[in-house]
């Protein structure tokens, strides 16, 4: 079995590869353009694995990507290549259009040509997306389902919504065997420190102000990255071709609550310092077009595919906090690359 993973040096990608590589029957081919938030160092220990191959390729580069695709002849493709930071999409939408829309379009064109020529059976393309394509909820709204209307509000989420629609269209028109997942906010070790949880942890480590947008009441549905990885593998192996699956763990927290939980852990861990980390919390001007709430209805993946997870958010959050504390030098270097 040969699996091609695009964007495999990102946060989800490195965790997925570390998991899949344990299966000695699978060969992994990883392509990544290596941007500021790529983490090749996370895969240093598997570089010499005979079942792992990395190639520096931007899927926006159609010709180069196509040559590599036809050379390796994958059985399955997992598309993780995407720009994902909302703030960056507001500052510079161009790169999001190139990577998330045109990059996905290139992948679909190549898959169509590949299947037309090779007639490969049992081929699958898993396109990994986000709950942000559905837009924003209020506190009383029901959680997003697979049938929720798309209503994206940022350049990032609209580019991802566009890519989702392209994937669906290529399945309907060209019969590409696809699967789509829309996942809630991830967290865990190795996440690039521009995202909310590592930002809060970094500020606590350095005892610097923790910037919270607006009033901090914006709500997100959080999932530990390893739960997301298990869900992706489940969808790839058992999902019904042409279907979309929402991935979440019913764990909603507002940003202020999340910051307080992390600060409380630091207070407990370093109680001898007699420093109240909650005093670091500060409020800054709200993000443009800031979505109020995301929430995932995960009944489909639970009922149809048997997705299970443990309700251990605090344990996983502590694992994450301690990983960043133990990797302060890595964190410092990555913060400089922003």
Q: Computed over its alpha carbons, how large is the radius of gyration of the chain?
A: 20
How far apart are alpha carbons 112 and 106 in whole angstroms?
10
DSSP string of 151-165, one letter each residue? ---SHHHHHHHHHHH
44 in active site: no
User: What is the distance of C-alpha 259 from the center of its chain?
Assistant: 21
Strands of 219-224's sheet in order across: 185-187, 219-224, 252-254
Examine the residue annotation and report whether 131 is marked as an active-site residue of this protein.
Answer: yes
Closest CA to 226 of 330, 335, 315: 315
Using N-to-C axis directions, what is the helix angle for 255-269 and 196-205, rounded to 10°?
30
Nearest-angstrom CA–CA distance, 21 and 245: 24
Cα angle for residues 227, 305, 176 (degrees, 5° grid): 95
Which one from 83, 132, 194, 291 is the annotated catalytic residue? Answer: 132
Q: Is 132 a catalytic residue?
A: yes
- Asked if residues 11 and 20 have their Cβ atoms less than 8 Å apart, the reply is no
Cβ-based neighbour number of residue 147 at 10 Å: 9
Count of CB atoms within 10 A of residue 329's CB? 8
From the list 156, 265, 309, 324, the catalytic residue is 156
8-state DSSP, 141? S
Do residues 227 and 249 lie in contact, with contact meaning Cβ atoms separated by under 8 Å?
Answer: yes
**DSSP structural state of residue 239:** P
Q: ∠ at Cα 199 (154, 284), nearest 5°?
A: 65
User: Which entry of 58, 83, 131, 291 is annotated as an active-site residue?
Assistant: 131
Catalytic positions, please? 131-132, 156
């Amino acid at each position: 079995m040969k699996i091609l993973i695009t964007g495999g040096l990102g946060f989800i990608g490195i965790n997925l590869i570390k998991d899949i590589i344990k299966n000695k029957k699978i060969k992994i081919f990883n392509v990544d353009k290596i941007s500021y938030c790529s983490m090749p160092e996370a895969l240093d220990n598997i570089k010499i694995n005979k079942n792992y191959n990395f190639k520096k390729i931007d899927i926006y580069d159609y010709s180069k990507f196509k040559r590599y695709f036809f050379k390796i002849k994958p059985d399955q493709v997992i598309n993780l290549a995407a720009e994902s930071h909302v703030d960056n999409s507001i500052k510079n939408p161009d790169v999001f259009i190139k990577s998330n829309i045109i990059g996905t379009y290139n992948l679909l064109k190549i898959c169509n040509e590949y299947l037309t020529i090779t007639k490969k059976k049992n081929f699958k393309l898993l396109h990994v997306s986000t709950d942000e394509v559905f837009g924003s909820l209020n506190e009383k709204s029901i959680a997003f389902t697979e049938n929720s209307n798309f209503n994206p509000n940022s350049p990032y989420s609209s580019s991802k919504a566009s890519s989702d629609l392209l994937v669906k269209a290529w399945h309907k028109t060209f019969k590409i065997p696809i699967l789509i997942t829309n996942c809630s906010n991830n967290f865990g070790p190795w996440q690039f420190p521009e995202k909310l949880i590592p930002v809060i942890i970094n500020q606590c480590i350095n005892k610097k102000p923790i910037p919270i947008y607006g009033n901090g009441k914006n709500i997100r549905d959080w999932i530990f990255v390893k739960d997301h990885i298990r869900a992706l593998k489940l969808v790839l192996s058992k999902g019904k071709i042409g279907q979309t699956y929402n991935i979440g763990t019913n764990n909603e927290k507002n940003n202020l609550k999340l910051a307080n939980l992390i600060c409380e852990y630091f207070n407990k861990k370093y109680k001898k310092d007699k420093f109240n980390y909650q005093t670091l919390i500060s409020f800054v001007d709200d993000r443009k077009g800031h979505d109020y709430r995301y929430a995932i209805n995960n009944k489909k993946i639970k009922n149809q595919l048997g997705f299970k997870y443990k309700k251990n958010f605090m344990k996983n959050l502590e694992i994450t906090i301690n990983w960043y504390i133990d990797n302060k030098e890595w964190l410092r270097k990555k913060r400089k690359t922003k």
